């Protein structure tokens, strides 16, 4: 079995991780989280969302976060943009990259962004056109690729169809998301094979929520397929307010520990990352979900 020699980790803790928290997280804490992640070696960070503050109140301060956080030449700060209004927020906050997000579930699309999958793709067209003109890279995400929280059947062909449309539109990366963490390794390979049949393997990413404890196994299966773009969330934070049952993402610490053990380069300092996981977890008043963060807590330098 051959594995990639290096991967790109895309850290979603400051966005996916915090969007579902009940208590308001102060802007300063978000900024410190992001800056600590950079210090740990993370090069691509989802810093927030320019979505309706009525829909996702936790992301209402994204412009403020972007205005105050230290910027780095070699670190990408990415933001979610559901429409042109979101795009304008991204541009005025000098985001390095935008993210459009659709899905394979019709019901989830309605509940999450108040339109059908086809309508969402139409909405993204002017966003991507504007981004191309402005020279902003566009990343795309496909939710509910392994199952829907609303019980609809999701086939690999449905996931491949949306992925191809997003890629053809101009996304440089298409992240295949297990929003409710129901996938298993063989299923992961089937879905990724179907997507890789229609878009290049090296643009495909994976985004695993860990609701059923399968995320690391699925991630390993994705590495076996040759995927090198991995989303993860420090301390295993995460969830989507519009996907009942969506718990946290696979923890960045757990992935980095596994990658280190496999000799796969991620560029991340595990020691600093675990300290960051404890920083945000202490703030939230509960331990990280991550086994690695717990195991290393008393062994940190
Ligand atoms: P809508 O109500 O259909 O939008 O919502 P609208 O165009 O009719 O506008 C209604 C109001 O929202 C207006 O304000 C607009 O100005 C405002 P009002 O006149 O009522 O005061 N508005 C906005 N405000 C700020 N930024 C904007 C914006 N757009 C409109 N961009 C909309 C449609 C898409 C806006 C809404 O449904 C929404 O914001 N949804 C976001 C949901 C969300 O962020 N979900 C979580 C992220 S996705 C996720 O977590 C999955 C992922 O992790 C992968 C996975 O795990 O599956 C990526
Ligand atoms: Mg997610």
Ligand 1 neighbour 56 (Cβ under 6 A) = yes
Q: Which of 132, 216, 145, 212 lies closest to 174, judged by CA? A: 145
pLDDT tens digits, one per residue of 77-102:
999 999 999 999 999 999 999 999 99
Residue 271 banded pLDDT, cuts 50, 70, 90: very high
Rounded average pLDDT over 279-283 = 97
In the predicted model, what is the mean pLDDT of the chain? 97
Share of the chain above pLDDT 90, in %: 97
CA distance to 40, 65, 115, 152, per residue, from 60 (Å): 26, 10, 21, 31
What is the length of the chain? 301
CA of 259 to the centre of ligand 2 (A): 21
Is a pLDDT exceeding 90 seen at residue 136?
Answer: yes
For the full predicted model, state whether its pTM sits above 0.85. yes
Atom of ligand 1 nearest to the CA of 246: 56
Residue 301 banded pLDDT, cuts 50, 70, 90: confident
- Does a structural domain hold residue 3? no
CA of 181 to the centre of ligand 2 (A): 10
Q: How many domains does the chain have?
A: 1
Share of the chain above pLDDT 70, in %: 100
Is a pLDDT exceeding 90 seen at residue 203?
Answer: yes
pLDDT tens digits, one per residue of 217-234:
999 999 999 999 999 999
Total Cβ atoms within 10 A of residue 135: 6
Per the structure, the complete domain to which residue 173 belongs is given by 8-299
Residue 245 banded pLDDT, cuts 50, 70, 90: confident
Contact 209, 238 (CB under 8 A): yes
pLDDT computed for residue 51 by the predictor: 98
Ligand 1 neighbour 10 (Cβ under 6 A) = no
Question: What's 287's domain CATH number?
Answer: 3.20.20.70
Round to whole Å and give the CA distance between 39 and 109.
Answer: 36
Sequence-distant (6+) residues with CB within 8 A of 144 are 103, 104, 105, 108, 154, 177, 179, 180, 243
Please list all protein residues whose beta carbon sits less than 5 angstroms from ligand 2, which is an ion. Answer: 16
Q: Which of 279, 281, 276, 275 lies closest to 297, judged by CA? A: 275
CA distance to 37, 116, 146, 198, per residue, from 233 (Å): 10, 28, 19, 28
φ/ψ of 87, rounded to 5, equals: -60, -40
Contact 270, 251 (CB under 8 A): no
pLDDT tens digits, one per residue of 2-59:
899 999 999 999 999 999 999 999 999 999 999 999 999 999 999 999 999 999 999 9
Rounded average pLDDT over 135-151 = 97
pLDDT tens digits, one per residue of 160-184:
999 999 999 999 999 999 999 999 9
pLDDT tens digits, one per residue of 144-160:
999 999 999 999 999 99
Residues catalogued as catalytic: 240
**In 3-state terms, what secondary structure has residue 214?**
coil
Q: Which residues lie across from 76 on neighbouring strands? A: 44
pLDDT computed for residue 142 by the predictor: 98
Per the model's pLDDT, the better-predicted residue between 9 and 245 turns out to be: 9
- Does a structural domain hold residue 212? yes
CA of 250 to the centre of ligand 2 (A): 10
């Amino acid at each position: 079995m051959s594995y990639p020699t290096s991967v790109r980790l895309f850290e979603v803790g400051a966005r996916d991780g915090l969007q579902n928290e009940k208590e308001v997280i102060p802007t300063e804490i978000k900024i410190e989280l992001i800056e600590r992640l950079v210090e740990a070696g993370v090069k691509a960070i989802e810093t927030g969302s320019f979505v309706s503050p009525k829909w996702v109140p936790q992301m209402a301060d994204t412009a403020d976060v972007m205005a105050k956080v230290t910027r780095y030449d070699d670190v990408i700060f990415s933001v979610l943009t559901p429409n042109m209004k979101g795009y304008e927020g991204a541009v005025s906050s000098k985001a390095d990259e935008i993210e459009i997000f659709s899905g394979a579930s019709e019901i989830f699309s309605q509940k999450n962004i108040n339109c059908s999958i086809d309508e969402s793709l139409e909405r993204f067209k002017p966003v991507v056109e504007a981004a191309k003109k402005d020279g902003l890279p566009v990343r795309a995400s496909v939710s509910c690729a392994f199952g829907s929280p609303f019980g609809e059947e999701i086939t690999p062909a449905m996931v491949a169809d949306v992925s191809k449309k997003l890629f053809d539109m101009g996304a440089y990366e298409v992240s295949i998301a297990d929003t409710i963490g129901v996938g298993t390794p063989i299923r992961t390979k089937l879905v990724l094979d179907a997507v890789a049949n229609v878009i290049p393997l090296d643009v495909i990413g994976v985004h695993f929520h860990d609701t059923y404890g399968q995320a690391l196994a699925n991630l390993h299966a994705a590495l076996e397929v040759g995927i090198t773009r991995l989303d993860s969330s420090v301390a295993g934070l995460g969830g989507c307010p519009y996907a009942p049952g969506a718990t946290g993402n696979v923890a960045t610490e757990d992935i980095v520990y596994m990658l280190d053990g496999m000799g796969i380069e991620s560029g991340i300092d595990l020691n600093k990352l675990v300290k960051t996981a404890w920083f945000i977890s202490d703030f939230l008043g509960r331990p990280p979900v991550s086994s690695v963060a717990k195991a290393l807590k008393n062994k940190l330098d």
